[in-house]
Structure 1
Amino acid sequence: MDPFLIIGICGVAVLLVSLVFGELFDLEALAGDWFSTAALGGFVSALGFGGATAQALGAPQLVASLVGVGSGVLVGWFAAWLTRWVKNAGTDSTPTPQDMLGWDATVVSDVPADGYGAITVRRGGHTVRLNAKAERELPAGTAVHVTGVLSPTAVTVAATYPELL
């Protein structure tokens, strides 16, 4: 078997181990994400397969090696960039009651006419449960929308389909 193919297969094995088990070695002391297992596996596999491709196209050993190193650097850089981007990608913050004005919700605990019940708001992967007050009684399961904010944990609501109540 061609040495370049063996190198490429070893690189793919490192990538698979990296995906299954996460970072194997604490390489972050060297240069952060540049020497992560994913970047190392990407470099080694691209070096092997790039060199094997160049050699199969008739390139001499030296040219095939240079093509392999070039493709390895390119793929290794991309893997490092992608790893850093994924690690630093922000997530949406939990919505506040002020953000929820006009949003749809569901009553989970009956809202009496003179007191508080509970609603659940689901939006963007977040589930928020709040105390709720309404002008009239709303049974559990009623579709509502948030009409006002009373406090950080309480809102006013109105039935989405009042004609059904």
Structure 2
Amino acid sequence: MTVFLVLGFVGLALVLVSLLVGDHLEAAFGGAFNALEGDVFSTAVIGGFVSAFGFGAAAADGGGLPTPLALVIGGASGVVVGWFAWWLTRLVKDGPSDGTVSISDTVGQVGKVLRAIPGGDSYGVVRVSVGGHVMQCNASSLLAIEAGAEVSITGVLSPTAVTVAPVWNPQS
């Protein structure tokens, strides 16, 4: 049982090292693990397998089962946890990521005027939040808009400038 517990803790240590150090561990060994590249042989999967194998076999051995049966239960536990670690690793690696926010993403958003917009061909400055990213843009409007007013972004003039219209506020 002690050997199984030691294997369980070694597997947990490997998982912890893979979480804290990640890809830097492979770089430290000069790419010696390149033959094992891929998600199936990642340190998270191997660590998950070893820890589940050790703890599963220790639980079965502690329950009074014969050693061969404890090994089978440990192996099955390791396969299940290893598969789950592989699945989670794949899910994280293949998951979508937010792209870079561009000025075209501001169209249709509501912003706040920071520097008054005189109207016509002159520019003011607005601040708008897109997907948690705050952007400041030069803004042009047909009508004059005071600083502090809310505006709707209606179009893009250039990579740094937008057209805006005042947001209707029934209280004013």
TM-score range, shorter chain: 0.7 to 0.9
Query: Any conservation in 2 of the 1:39–1:77 contact (CA below 8 Å)?
Result: yes
Unmatched 5+ stretches in structure 1: none
Matching residue's letter, 1:83: T
Aligned to 2:93, which of 82, 87, 92?
Answer: 87
Report how many aligned residue pairs link the two structures: 164
Matching residue of 2:167:
160
Matched, 1:21 2:29: no
**Displacement over 6 Å in runs of 4+:** none
Percent identity between matched residues is 47
Q: Is the 8 A contact 1:105 1:143 kept in 2?
A: yes
- 1:77 corresponds, among 61, 80, 83, to 83
Unaligned runs of 5+ in 2: none
SS at match of 1:49: helix
Normalising by the residue count of structure 2, what TM-score does the alignment of the two structures yield?
Answer: 0.80
Q: Partner of 1:17: helix, strand, or coil?
A: helix
Q: Which amino acid aligns with 2:19?
A: L
Please state if 1:126 is matched with 2:133: yes
Encode CA deviations 1:103-127: one digit per residue, 9 max, x unaligned. Answer: 1223344433341122232122333
Match of 2:123 in 1: 116
CA distances 1:56-81 after superposition (whole Å, capped 9, x unpaired): 22221111111111111221121122
**What residue is the counterpart of 1:49 in the other structure?**
55
Alpha-carbon RMSD = 2.4
User: In structure 1, how many angstroms separate the alpha carbons of the residues matched to 2:90 and 2:34?
Assistant: 12
TM-score, normalised by the number of residues in structure 1: 0.83
Deviation string 1:20-76 (CA, Å, 9 cap, x unpaired) is 122323535424111111111111111111111222222211111111111112211
- CA separation in 2, counterparts of 1:84 and 1:29? 19
Distance apart, 1:87 and its partner CA: 1.6
1:83 CA displacement: 1.2
Q: C-alpha separation between the residues in 2 aligned to 1:108 and 1:5?
A: 63
